[in-house]
Amino acid sequence: MVRTDDFDFDLPIELVAQEPAPRGTSRLLVFDRASGLLGHRTVAELPGMLRENDLLLLNDTRVIPARLVARRPTGRGFELLLLRRVTTDLWESLLRPSARARTGERLVLPDGGEVLPVEALGEGRWIVRFVPSLELARLDRIGEVPLPPYVQRPEGAVPADRMDYQTVYAASPGAVAAPTAGLHFTEEILDGVRATGVELAFLTLHVGLGTFRPVQVDQIEDHEMHEEWYHFSETASAAVNVALEAGRRVVCVGTTTVRALEGALAAGNGTVAAGHGWTNIFITPGYEFRGLGAMLTNFHLPRSTLLMLVSAIAGRERVLAAYREAIAEGYRFFSYGDAMLIV
């Protein structure tokens, strides 16, 4: 049994990034698993740290403005965080304050439309019905960027977040949180990667509740991951399968890409099939990776499933030691923070 407390660490609050650095300028902690050595570089140097014939795998999900405010006619406010669309008018959502919601009551949205709680699912999740149905164009008008709770802005998200909390290659709408390792890329860095002889491939995993749901159990084996939807195109699945067959290194950008890759390989018994699927894979120390060769990632929350995943790649004690060095060197943490390259 592995305890959740084993993945705890102390982080000075001032190192939690509240605003992004200019894209492509963040610091990069390089972790060499073979030697155990750490190096201090910048994200702009990434192309020179990859190998010719690497496959760089990125998640092209697009964050939707999934945070909504609704009110009773009496004025009481509710906050919704959309998790996934169920049908044309039904969505699964976090609803706060959940205990005060009533099945079937009509809550008014900023554009005069309504949302009705339909069914409580537990843990603050509800199936809700939108009247009229909530199309993405309408959501763009009335929704807000769903910034993580540790980005503490009294005024909430600002217009710049719509661009800052989105990768430059975002294409497929559906995520409620950004694949944050990808936020560091600029078109110039991507061009530099290609010029090095690295192949790029894009999958889609819509980041959902499974990514940011806190671990609230003492033993990590008791934690249940929520499913997340992923998709590999014919081109992406072929690129991964050819690379793995040839023994080339697959470099994953972010934990979401790792989960999609490993989930697809598990479902396909070592081969990635084109098409979509659902994964609730929970990667913890002791997991045997089928496809991952290296990884670019941000610094993650204490006691989180993401920190556990990174520990599965590089070892819990060594990862926590790297985090201590990052803290001593003043690296910025979490979604808008700096990055780490594990090779």
The 10s digit of each residue's pLDDT in 22-66 is 999 999 999 999 999 999 999 999 999 999 999 999 999 999 999
Q: Which CATH number fits domain 67-142: 3.40.50.300, 1.20.20.10, 2.40.50.100, 2.40.10.240?
A: 2.40.10.240
* Confidence class for position 2, pLDDT limits 50, 70, 90: confident
pTM (2 d.p.): 0.93
pLDDT score at 264:
97
- Asked if residue 149 has a cis previous peptide bond (ω within 30° of 0), the answer is no
d(CA 19, CA 31): 25
Residue 257 has pLDDT above 90, yes or no: yes
Region of residue 337 (phi > 0: left; psi between -120 and 50: alpha; otherwise: beta) = beta
**58: Cα within 13 Å, side-chain hemisphere:** 24
Q: Are 133 and 89 in contact (CB under 8 A)?
A: yes
| Low-confidence winner among 52-56, 155-159, 294-298, 299-303 (lowest mean pLDDT) | 155-159
Fold of 4-63+162-342: QueA-like (3.40.1780)
Residue 224 has pLDDT above 70, yes or no: yes
Regarding beta strands 172-175 and 61-63, do their DSSP bridges make them parallel or antiparallel, or are they unpaired? Answer: parallel
- The pLDDT mean for the chain works out to 94
Instruction: Count Cβ atoms within 10 A of the Cβ of residue 236 and give its class: 0-12 exposed, 13-18 middle, 19 or more buried.
Output: buried
Residue 92 has pLDDT above 80, yes or no: yes
| Low-confidence winner among 100-109, 137-146, 221-230 (lowest mean pLDDT) | 221-230
For the segment 204-218, what is each residue's pLDDT rounded down to a tens digit? Answer: 999 986 666 677 777
* Tokens encoding 277: 């699927």
- The answer to whether 4-63+162-342 and 67-142 have equal CATH topology is no
pLDDT score at 116:
97
d(CA 294, CA 123): 35
**Domains of the chain, residue spans:** 4-63+162-342, 67-142
The residue-averaged pLDDT of 85-109 equals 94
pLDDT score at 212:
61
Sign of the torsion angle spanned by Cα atoms 329, 333, 338, 340:
positive
